[in-house]
A and B are shown apart, each in its own frame.
Chain A
Amino acid sequence: MSLGYVLVRSILLVLLLMGAFAYFMVMERKVLGYFQLRWGPVRVGPWGLLQPIADAVKMVSKEDTAPAGADALIFHAAPAIVLFVALGAFAVIPLGPTLHFGGFAVPLSVSSPPSSLLYVLAIASLGVYGISLGGWASQSKYALLGSLRASAQMVSYELALGLAVISAVVLSGRLDLPGIVAAQSQHHLWGVVPDILGFAIFAICSVAECNRAPFDLAEAEGELVAGFHTEYSGFRYANFVIAEYINMFTMSALGALLFLGGWNGPFGLGASFWWLLLKMAAYLFFFIWVRSTYPRIRYDRLMGFGWKVLVPAAFVNLVWIAVFVGLLGGWR
């Protein structure tokens, strides 16, 4: 494929992602508002629909400050690392089956390497570098504490997340995302049916991996002001937020592809990218729902829950899935 073609598709997808980010943010504030019996944003435009544009203007025009003692290079590089990693992980997510326009095939992902699932996990785990470096370089105690917490939390929950993902791989016997979706449609069985425990572990860990409430210990505003991005302002702060939301998109897409049948409708209702978007939207709504329902948990309980509940549960689930596949296939 020519470079120009890839570039055009990349730019389109980046614009799409930024648009999705902006309007998912409005949706989050609206939904949170309704959960708390208030209106959410209503002032800018009809139903507050122009709010993200106003926010963007504010972010771009804000003064870009750095603390005097900060390590300038790392401080300025950290938000870029976080965003770069978030986009890199999203690049292999297929947003639907390959479209055909009169003999011209358009795959709905930027690229589809042979083991895209492994690639997503590998790249997504690099995000912790940006967060810990950003907090460390800020020369601020709140930021350092936030980044320390974030790194310990993210590596702990990554383990259970990886084990839950392995159970989906066992079920389908594939390591590429389109292949996993194809296997689920071929067996007429969504991953979530035998692997309900794995899906639950994945859902909990995906909230923790994105540093979202109730696992937002890294930026717990009640104790750490804003955690690792305390000292960031203007568009550098916005980079952290954009990366967090793109990570949420990646996680919701992974959950839908691995466990919820991807772009196949339920009961053989055809395959279309609309199904995937619907499932992703439901998953994203789950993120907001959890945020508005649960209070932030204490740090020792967070670590205890991850290590003493989720990790052994994921191991047990893996053995169960192996038994399930063996019984279904008829062991030799």
Chain B
Amino acid sequence: MEKYLDILVFTLAGAAFPLIAVGGGLILRRRYPDVEKERAYESGELPIGDARIPFHISYYVFALVFLVFDIESVFLYPWAVIYLHLNHVLAFLEIVVFVGILLAGWLYAWKKKVLSWM
């Protein structure tokens, strides 16, 4: 636990650096707010409508496929740590079955044209 506290101290010390720079810059910086300046950049034209437009469903599908594979890859970590010390042919066969199932799922996703953009 103490080791993670060290990390917290380090990240806070690191985060203080940009805070000091942004805050200290207030003395150096000038601030002239302007309607034109605060308009979102849209190639110099007046922005049309809200920027939070609906976006393509592909992003959602990719996120879903990612979630499936990422969780499955998490299961590989315990096996990866123990494999060398176990040194048993059964551990190998088990992972071949596991990766085989993963690859079957991956092939299914490909055939369903989920992996093709648009």
Contact = CB atoms under 8 A, between A and B. Distances in A.
A308 B55 CA distance: 23
Most buried by A among B17, B39, B69, B84: B84
B99 A315 contact: yes
Interface in B3-62: 3-4, 6-7, 9-11, 13-15, 17-19, 21-22, 24-25, 28-32, 35, 37-43, 47, 50-53, 55, 58-59, 62
B7 A118 contact: no
B43 to A, nearest CB: 8
Contact of B52 (A11, A136, A162, A238): A136
Nearest to B89: A331
Interface in A1-53: 1, 3, 6-7, 9-11, 13-14, 17-18
A92 B47 CA distance: 44
A312 B103 contact: yes
Nearest to B115: A307
A252 B50 CA distance: 40
Contact of A239 (B18, B25, B88, B116): B18
A326 interface: yes
Interface of B is mostly: helix
Contacts of A213: none
Interface string A43-84: 000000000000000011111111111000000000110011
Contacts of A110: 6-7, 9-10
Interface residues of A, number: 90
Nearest to B78: A175
Interface in A309-332: 311-312, 315, 318-319, 322-323, 325-326, 329-332
A199 B103 CA distance: 21
Interface in A286-302: 299-300
Size class of the contact patch on chain B? 35 or more
Contacts of A307: 65, 115
B108 interface: no
Contacts of A225: 41, 43
Contacts of B62: 152, 155-156, 303
Contacts of A162: 70, 73
A87 B18 contact: no
A155 B63 contact: yes
Nearest to B30: A63
A141 B51 contact: yes
A185 interface: no
Interface stretch (A188-196, A227-235, A268-276): A227-235
Q: Nearest 10 A-B pairs (CB), nearest first? A: A173-B84, A300-B117, A87-B14, A140-B40, A111-B6, A10-B10, A169-B80, A10-B13, A60-B25, A331-B89
19 contacts: A6-B6, A62-B29, A64-B22, A64-B29, A113-B3, A118-B77, A138-B40, A140-B40, A140-B41, A162-B70, A231-B41, A234-B29, A239-B18, A300-B117, A304-B117, A312-B103, A322-B92, A322-B95, A331-B87
